[in-house]
Amino acid sequence: MTTMTETASGLREFKMPDVGEGLTEAEILKWYVQPGDTVTDGQVVCEVETAKAAVELPIPYDGVVHELRFPEGTTVDVGQVIISVDVGGGAAPAAPPVAQAPVEAPAAAVPAPAAASAPSDEAAAEQAEPEGRKPVLVGYGVSVSSTKRRPRRGVPARQPEAAASVQRELNGHAAPAEAAAPVAPAAPVAPAAPAARPLAKPPVRKLAKDLGVDLAVVVPSGPDGIITREDVHAAVAPAPVAEPAVTEAPPAPAAPVRTAVTAPSVAYDGVRETRIPVKGVRKATAAAMVGSAFTAPHVTEFVTVDVTRTMKLVEELKQDKDMQGLRVNPLLLISKALLVAIRRNPDVNASWDEANQEIVRKHYVNLGIAAATPRGLIVPNIKDAHAKALPQLAEALGELVGTAREGRTSPAAMQGGTVTITNVGVFGVDTGTPILNPGESAILAVGSIKPQPWVHKGKVKPRQVTTLALSFDHRLVDGELGSKVLADVAAVLEQPKRLITWG
C-alpha cells in the first residue's frame, strides 16, 4: 500500500500504513513533531498502537511539517492521511488540529496576552508529566519499568512571565491594583485573544472530563501552575457545610431509642465509577480469549513438584563462564523442561483446523511467554525454540525482556506461537487455570516457588516447591497425552539431570 502522496503545491501526505498482519486501524498515541518542525527521511514522527503492539512510524522524506491531521488519542483507519510535509518550502504551516478549543476565562478575569506571546501549555504539561509505566514481563517475575521519554521537537519554550500573569488571572490571584490616579481616556484597543487553557497533563484533562469538572475553575497546586489529579478530586469533593448556630436552649434529652445504623456509601477518592474505553491490545485480547474459551474445550491438570535441585542448578549456571552475560533464572529451565516434554510427546504441539476438520501437527516449537503490559496481555514467542541450546535460549529470552521493557514488541513477534508459558507465580499465587492462546493446543502455568515441608528421603524437610498447571485443547489432546506432558515437565524440574539423559 502506498503511504504517501504528493500535491501540486509541494506538500506530501503521509498515510497511516498497514503496520502488520492486515490490521485495519491504529490509535495515535504520541506526536513527536509539530507544524513548522523540520523532519528528515527516516525520522520517527509519531507512535501508534494497533491491536497487537505500539509501533513508531518514520517519515519517508525530508521537509517541514505542514499539518497534523489528527490529535493524539484518535483511532485512524489504515490509508488515511495523518500528516502533511512541505518538501518545497512554499506552503505555510497549518494550525495544528491537536490543540483543543480554549476554555473561556471566568467573568472576573482580565483579557489574556495576545496569542503570539501565549505560553505553550502542552510543553509545560510534557515537562511535568511523570514517567509512564512500561510492561511487566509475567514470564520473568521482574518489573521491567522504563523511564525513557522522548523530548517533543519544535515546541516553543514557555514564557514564564506571561504564563504566570495568565494563570494569576484565571485563579483570581491578580496583583493588587496601584493607587488610583486621574488618567486620560483609554484609546480603543484591539479585541483580546482568547484566554490560555489551564495547564494540565492529558491524563488529568481526561479525569476532569470524566468527572465533569471545568479546569478553568480549578485552583492548581502543581509547579508552574499545573493542575494535578488531587486538584481535580478536590474540585469534585463537596465543600464542608457549617453547622447552624444554636440560639435556644436544647430540649431535655428524650429516652434513648435503638435505631438501625446504615453505613455511609464509600467512594474511592470521591469517584464512584470510572469508564475506560476498550480498544487496542485490550480489545484484541478480550476477543481472542472469548473465542478461545468458548471454542476449544479446555482441560486443566495440576501437579506439585519439588524443584530444589532446579533452583540449585540455576545458581550454578549463573557462575558458569558459558552463561556469563545471559539471563539465568528458573523460567529458563522451566522453558527447557517444556521443550524436552514436547520432544518426548510431539502430538501435543498441534492446532485444530476447524474449516478443514484437520489436526495440524507442528514440527517446530515457537515458545510463547505471556507478558502483562499497561496496554493489556501480549504473548511474544521465541521462534524455533526447540532448536536452541541452553545459552541460545537464555539469549532469546533476554531479548524478549528487553523488547518488552521498551514497549516495542512487534506484531510479527506475537504471531505463529505453538505453545505458551505463563508465570503467575510472580504475583505470589500458587497456580491458575490459564486460557489457551488462540491457535495453540497447550499452555503451562507456573506457580510461585517457595519453601514447604516435603518428604525427602523418608524425612520431612523444607524444600523448594511449586505447582504447575497445564491447560490443553481436549479436541486434539486427550487426558493421557496431557498427563504425560505435565509429568515429564515435573520430572525434569525435580531431577534436572534429565535434561541430559532425555535431551
Helices assigned H by DSSP within 217-359: 229-236, 280-293, 308-319, 330-344
The strand order across the sheet containing 371-373 reads 142-143, 136-137, 371-373, 376-378
pLDDT in tens, 304-342: 999 999 999 999 999 999 999 998 999 999 999 999 999
User: Which one has a higher pLDDT value, 141 or 86?
Assistant: 86
pLDDT band (50, 70, 90) for residue 218 = confident
* For range 211-215, the mean pLDDT: 79
Across 212-221, average pLDDT: 82
Q: Supply the DSSP string of 249-267, one letter for each residue.
A: PPPPPPPP---PPPPPP--
Domains defined along the chain, listed by start: 4-86 (2.40.50.100), 123-128+196-238 (4.10.320.10), 280-501 (3.30.559.10)
Q: Which amino acid is at 340?
A: V
pLDDT at 294 over 60: yes
What is d(CA 207, CA 336) in angstroms, rounded to the nearest whole number?
46
Active site residue 386: no
Percent of the chain with pLDDT over 70: 65
Residues 6+ apart with CB under 8 A from 258: none
Q: For residues 424 and 304, give the distance between their C-alpha atoms in angstroms, rounded to a whole number.
A: 15
Of residues 217, 173, 166, the one with CA closest to residue 194: 166
Q: How confident is the model at residue 410 (pLDDT cuts 50, 70, 90)?
A: confident
Q: How confident is the model at residue 415 (pLDDT cuts 50, 70, 90)?
A: confident
| Per-residue model confidence as pLDDT tens digits over 447-464 | 999 999 999 999 999 999
What cell does 425 get? 507465580
pLDDT tens digit string along 235-293?
765 544 444 444 444 455 555 545 444 545 555 677 878 777 777 666 766 777 777 77
Contacts of 478 (CB under 8 A, 6+ apart): none
The pLDDT, as a whole number, for residue 498 is 96
Average pLDDT, the chain: 75
User: Catalytic: which of 66, 233, 386, 474?
Assistant: 474
d(CA 95, CA 1) in angstroms, rounded, equals 28
**Packing angle, helices 308-319 and 479-494, rounded to 10:** 50
Between 381 and 253, where is the model more confident? 381
Mean pLDDT across the stretch 54-69? 89
DSSP state letters, 404-462: HHHT---GGGGSS--EEEEEGGGGT-S---PPPPTT-SEEEEE---EEEEEEETTEEEE
Cβ neighbours of residue 96 under 8 Å, at least 6 residues apart? 34, 35, 67, 68
CA distance 395 to 384: 13
Q: Is the pTM higher than 0.85?
A: no
Residue with the bigger pLDDT between 157 and 50: it is 50
Residue 330 cell numbers, joined: 528458573
pLDDT band for position 133 (50/70/90)?
Answer: very low
pLDDT winner (highest mean) among 184-193, 398-407, 490-499: 490-499
Q: How far is CA 476 from CA 91, 258, 338, 360, 423, in A?
A: 63, 66, 18, 10, 24
